[in-house]
Amino acid sequence: MTGVFISFEGIDGAGKSSHIQALAQAFGASSSSAASSGRQVVLTREPGGTALSEKLRELILHAPMDALTEALLVFAARREHIVQVIAPALARGDVVLCDRFTDASFAYQGAGRGFDLETLSKLEHSAQDLRRLSADLASKIRLKHGILQPDLTLLFEVPPQVAAQRLAQARQPDKFESQDVAFFERVASGYAARAAADPQRFVRINGHQSLEHVRADVMAAVKARGYL
């Protein structure tokens, strides 16, 4: 049984976090159903998910740094996360729910900061290449041209102005959350471009509706794939 890898994306303030929790509960509650029989749920996040990657997260979110340094650290954290957590979980047949993954690097470092997409693409290909890690592990995981990618990516979309208002009421902003609305407009268009390039993987969720409606859309997207 191959695992299921679902990532959650969107600009800061798009409201994805509470839905990840709800989906984890739904998977936990239905672990005896046919679609997800016996699957464990691994709830994780990026940057982060391992002790080392969480240390890198602190730096990425709070220390000012050169754009290439930031991109390298984001992918270093990701590589470690894949090797230590995501790949072993998928090889066991678990459901991995990941709060952000590589699309965030293309949206934030690429579209938001203006860092070149070609370099990001090279980093994506080496950090997510599992063939050199272990042929045995790689044989148990669904790969796209040898590269690990989520099976499904839920992209939460809200107008950047609305997200900014939500963030203004939240806690102390980090390096990204304190960017202006124009930055988030670029990030949102970066996400839209990634979604357009891989329409089979992405489901775009309208995050600018009631919590119940968003939740229903999330559940419907996951059920439509037969994962729940």
Minimum CB distance to ligand TYD smaller for 1 or for 61: 61
Report how far apart, in Å, the C-alpha atoms of 116 and of each of 120, 123, 186 are: 7, 11, 14
Q: Does 128 bind ligand TYD (CB under 6 A)?
A: no
Return the residue of 81, 100, 186, 194 that touches ligand TYD, per CB under 6 A.
100
Say how far apart CA 156 and CA 176 lie, in whole Å: 17
Asked if 181 and 93 count as a contact pair (C-beta separation under 8 A), the reply is: no
Q: Does 151 bind ligand TYD (CB under 6 A)?
A: no
Return the residue of 80, 94, 99, 217 that touches ligand TYD, per CB under 6 A.
99
Return the residue of 1, 2, 17, 165 that touches ligand TYD, per CB under 6 A.
17
Asked if 215 and 15 count as a contact pair (C-beta separation under 8 A), the reply is: no
Say how far apart CA 172 and CA 183 lie, in whole Å: 18
Stretch that binds ligand TYD, among 104-112, 128-136, 138-146, 214-222 (CB under 6 A): 104-112
Main-chain phi, psi angles of 115, to 5 degrees: -75, 145
Return the residue of 36, 105, 149, 153 that touches ligand TYD, per CB under 6 A.
105
Q: Does 176 bind ligand TYD (CB under 6 A)?
A: yes
Question: Cβ of residue 86: shortest distance to ligand TYD, in angstroms?
Answer: 13
Q: Is the dihedral of CA 10, 14, 17, 22 positive or negative?
A: negative
Residues at the contact surface with ligand TYD, assessed by CB under 6 A: 12, 17, 46-47, 61, 74, 99-100, 104-105, 108-109, 176-177
